[in-house]
Amino acid sequence: MTASLATFAVHRADSGGELMMEGALLNDIAECYGTPCFVYSKAALTTAFQRLDGAVKSARNGRPYLICYAVKANSNLAVLRLFASLGAGFDIVSGGELMRVLEAGGEPKKVVFSGLGKTAAEMKLALEANIKCFNIESEPELERLNDVAARLGIEARISLRVNPDVDAKTHPYISTGLKNNKFGIAFDRAMDVYRRAAALSHIDVVGVDCHIGSQITDDAPLQEAMGRIVALADALANEGITLHHVCPGGGIGITYKDEDTIDLNRYALALEASMGARDVELLLEPGRVLVGNAGVLLSRVEFVKLTESKNFLVIDAAMNDLIRPSLYQAHHGVVMAGSSRGAAVERVYDVVGPVCESADVLAHARALRAREGDVVAILSAGAYSFAMSSNYNSRPRAAEVLVDGDGGALIRERETFDDMVRLERLQTV
Ligand code: LLP
């Protein structure tokens, strides 16, 4: 790992000393709340939002914009509450996410609803909450939304999520803007679908949206996609369909290892240049960049297992807690929470969980000075980590803690066995 620890919202108390987040010792957090445990830094979350917000604000220079945090990346209520207090809007993909945003005090008029399979019930919920906009991904979805809005006697504001057919050059599982992806409306169909939308009785066409993928570290494809949707907005204006916002989606990548990623100021200025003098609002849907490097997963070493061919560090976190390495071959840094003074001998380990799957490897070939009972911090675990966790192998989901200054607050209790079986005990068969 070559990026500095500060990139991952942690630092050493002194050279070779204990690992800290803000003013809190991570070993103390592990002791207090148990492991596995996700820990987020309030300061790092705030800074991540303010950096992006600052870049866009200065590029826009007084023109309107809205940063809609993609809730799916980390949907803890405390995280949503923090972003709402910083002025964020929200990008949701389900009725559940909408209810989380409302519970956290997010403003419905700053909510955009993405996702390609919205049910009539979800549409009704969002229409009744009076959200800012629905991102529509297909013609049947458009017709359904018109019907649901008609039944409620209101108009639904929509943008089309178009598929600009741009290669985001990221992992195929998180690449979404190519023709053969299930997402969005094909670019060459978009004009027709807009005409249809404009003709529907209970649809109000307000924007254009796209999202080409995630963990994008070079902004060229994002700019290419932006160029295409701005051109589409111009073509629509020529037909008398005036849009109020354009949105190039999320996708800004972060450093997991040593990747150089998108310069936010440069990206914001490039978006601004694409928009030119057009009088429209700029929306963004960032997830990972706001939370990814603001969190770590703390886990305790259960066993040091040395075999002839490999050394394994068996820890108490597993693929059910953090599935990204198993699902996307993703890299997460691993560092010891304790001081290196008097620490164990260094060995190269595969860091593995107890789940009965060969894919349950959280990190490959890491040089660590670890012994049984030590705590490790798995870095960059703020995005798509707890949010993608499960109860596989009947493992309760981990606790979540928010560090603010030198203290931590429990923001989600560790699940208990009762939590896991509660809904099954209601069965009468
Ligand atoms: N907008 C839409 C419509 C999306 O589908 C997504 C993410 C975002 C915004 C936010 O993208 P971000 O800024 O976070 O890149 N589980 C994967 C990532 C899946 C991303 C899905 N869509 C991972 O762990 O890498």
Q: What is the pLDDT of residues 365-374, one digit of tens each?
A: 999 999 999 9
Residue 256 has pLDDT above 80, yes or no: yes
Report yes or no on whether pTM surpasses 0.95: yes
Asked if pLDDT for residue 237 goes beyond 60, the answer is yes
pLDDT category at 342 given cuts 50, 70, 90 is: confident
Per the CB < 8 A criterion, the answer to whether 187 and 163 are in contact is: yes
Residue 5 has pLDDT above 90, yes or no: yes
CA–centroid distance, residue 113 to ligand 1 (Å): 14
Kindly list the distances between the CA atom of residue 97 and the CA atoms of 80, 111, 192, 398, 415, in Å, as whole numbers in the listed order. Answer: 10, 10, 31, 20, 20
- Asked whether residue 26 carries a pLDDT value surpassing 60, the answer given is yes
- CB of 73 within 6 A of ligand 1: the answer is yes
Model pLDDT for residues 395-408, shown as the tens digit of each residue = 999 999 999 999 99
- Reply yes or no on whether the pLDDT at 1 is more than 60: no
Sign of CA dihedral 266, 269, 273, 278: positive
* CB of 252 sitting under 6 A from ligand 1: yes
- Residue closest via CA to ligand 1's atom 23 equals 384
Mutual angle of helices 77-85 and 95-103, in 10-degree steps: 60
Residue 363, class by beta-carbon neighbours within 10 Å (0-12 exposed, 13-18 middle, 19+ buried)? buried
Phi and psi torsions of 285, nearest 5°: -125, 60
Q: What's the gap in Å between 214 CA and the centre of ligand 1?
A: 5
User: What homologous superfamily does CATH list for 114-286?
Assistant: Alanine racemase (3.20.20.10)
Q: Is the CB of 211 under 6 A from ligand 1?
A: yes
250 CB within 6 A, ligand 1 = yes
C-alpha dist (Å) from residue 79 to 47, 236, 282, 299, 387: 13, 38, 23, 22, 12
How far away, in angstroms, is 250 Cα from ligand 1 center? 7
Q: By CB neighbour count within 10 A (0-12 exposed, 13-18 middle, 19+ buried), where does 356 fall?
A: exposed
CB 309 within 8 A of CB 270: no
Predicted confidence (pLDDT) at residue 213 exceeds the cutoff of 90: yes
Measuring CA to CA, which residue among 44, 37, 9, 93 is closest to residue 322? 37
Mean per-residue pLDDT, 139-158: 98
Domain ranges of the chain: 5-41+292-421, 114-286
Closest ligand 1 atom to Cα of 176: 5
Can you spell out the DSSP letters for 332-383? --EEESS-STTPPPPEEEEEE-SSSSTT-EEEEEEEE---TT-EEEESS-SS
Averaged pLDDT score across all residues of the chain: 96
Q: How far apart are CA 161 and CA 389, in angstroms?
A: 28
Q: Is 356 a catalytic residue?
A: yes
% pLDDT > 70, the chain: 97
C-alpha to C-alpha distance for 208 and 137, rounded to whole angstroms:
11
For position 172, what pLDDT does the model report? Answer: 67
Write the CB contacts of 400 (distance below 8 Å, at least 6 apart in sequence): 37, 38, 39, 40, 76, 78, 386, 410, 411, 412
- Per the CB < 8 A criterion, the answer to whether 354 and 375 are in contact is no
Cα 241 to chain center, whole Å? 32
Measured distance CA(208)–CA(158) in Å, rounded: 8
pLDDT the model gives residue 181 = 76
Q: What are the φ/ψ torsions at residue 8 (nearest 5 degrees)?
A: -105, 20
What pLDDT is attached to residue 428?
65
CATH superfamily of 5-41+292-421: Lyase, Ornithine Decarboxylase; Chain A, domain 1 (2.40.37.10)
Distance CA 74, CA 178 (A): 26
262 CB under 6 A from ligand 1? Answer: no
Alpha helices in 175-219 (DSSP H): 190-199
